[in-house]
Amino acid sequence: MAARFDELFTLLSRAPGELFIQTHDVPDPDAIAAAHGLRLLLKEKGIESRIVYAQEIEKADSRKMLELFDIQLWPYSCVSDVEAEDWVVLVDVQKGNTNLRCLNIIEVASIDHHELKADASYRFIDVRPDVGASSSIIAQYYFESGIMPSRLCATALLYGIFVDTDNLTRAVSPLDVEMFYHLHAYSDPELIKKIRGNQITLDDLRLYAEAFRTVEVYGPMAFLKLDDANDGLIGASSDIVLSLEGVDLAIAYSLRPSGVKISVRSINAAMPANAFVRSLVEGLGFGGGHNHMAGGFIPVERLPSNKSIDTLIKYKAIRVLDGLTIA
């Protein structure tokens, strides 16, 4: 496996132009930590790169990470005067994802833990859907090449694993646990405490409070409606709803000016989140994801004007539920 990073390093050391690292457009703690960890590891080996990102960072803890871990990100505009020979390494995302802005430079590599995209073609690829966090893959690059991450970097990677695996309980693989253990020796527990104490803003809390009033439970399924909320908040509030006794599937939807964002989380393999999302957006929008977590979007122009979106989502979801055999 040490060959993996060696292979990437050999490739990137031949980059003809500037080297960029790109995550999905709304980077979460795992994406930020993995991109940053990779940048520092490459720097250690003499390769300079810049992490670029699109939108503003939505979640409070993601923003706090930049400050606490001294992480530098550059706006996409710095790539605008691109030379055709610049390269980009995708981290925590793959080509063709709807949440990835195309920079019109060569996507030379992808390091990710989501489902492998069918049209994947890169000069280097390390996509491991069985792993819980991209941060675990980057941590493995460090330890296998005998380079120890700095205290700040180890802590950031640790936090990335922590968040993406929901405290080592969701989609967690032996690699995540092993890397968590190794990183722990190098990490700063005070910083973890600090970032855990900065997870949401007061505005977020108000949104939660409003959202939780909308919760409706239908058997093992719960619905949650949020106003124009950001992705991180939708995910976090779904997790709280999932912790409700008897609820195995949470369907959260957020009404935005551009359309309806849907997020489904499941803790029951007989109720796959991706199957629900696919049915909810069928014929109207797009979506996909894992069994335990999936998301979709219906653009505003595709919303049926004569139907209540709340009723539509609930009706479609109940139809899927009724078609399942649940133990």
Q: Considering beta carbons, is residue 27 or 272 the nearer one to Mn ion?
A: 27
**Least distance from C-beta 228 to Mn ion, angstroms?**
24
Q: Considering beta carbons, is residue 89 or 298 the nearer one to Mn ion?
A: 89
112 binds Mn ion (CB under 5 A): no
| 218 touches 318 (CB < 8 A) | yes
Tell me the window of 50-58, 89-97, 119-127, 211-219 that interacts with Mn ion (CB under 5 A). Answer: 89-97
Q: Considering beta carbons, is residue 30 or 86 the nearer one to Mn ion?
A: 30
Residue of 22, 33, 41, 92 that binds Mn ion (CB under 5 A): 92
Residue of 22, 26, 27, 30 that binds Mn ion (CB under 5 A): 30
| 77 touches 103 (CB < 8 A) | no
| 171 touches 265 (CB < 8 A) | no
Q: Considering beta carbons, is residue 94 or 207 the nearer one to Mn ion?
A: 94
209-217 long-range CB contacts below 8 Å, 24 or more apart? Answer: 211/237, 211/252, 212/237, 212/240, 212/241, 215/241, 215/244, 216/314, 217/244, 217/246, 217/247
**Least distance from C-beta 28 to Mn ion, angstroms?**
7
The 3-state DSSP class for residue 299 equals strand
**How far apart are alpha carbons 196 and 204 in whole angstroms?**
15
164 binds Mn ion (CB under 5 A): yes
Where in 116-145 is the site for Mn ion (CB under 5 A)?
A: 134
Q: Considering beta carbons, is residue 153 or 298 the nearer one to Mn ion?
A: 153
What is the identity of the amino acid at 116?
A: L
Where in 263-282 is the site for Mn ion (CB under 5 A)?
A: none
Q: Is the dihedral of CA 276, 233, 299, 96 positive or negative?
A: negative
The count of residues interacting with Mn ion (CB under 5 A) is 4
**How far apart are alpha carbons 6 and 10 in whole angstroms?**
6
| Contacts with Mn ion, residue ranges (CB under 5 A) | 30, 92, 134, 164
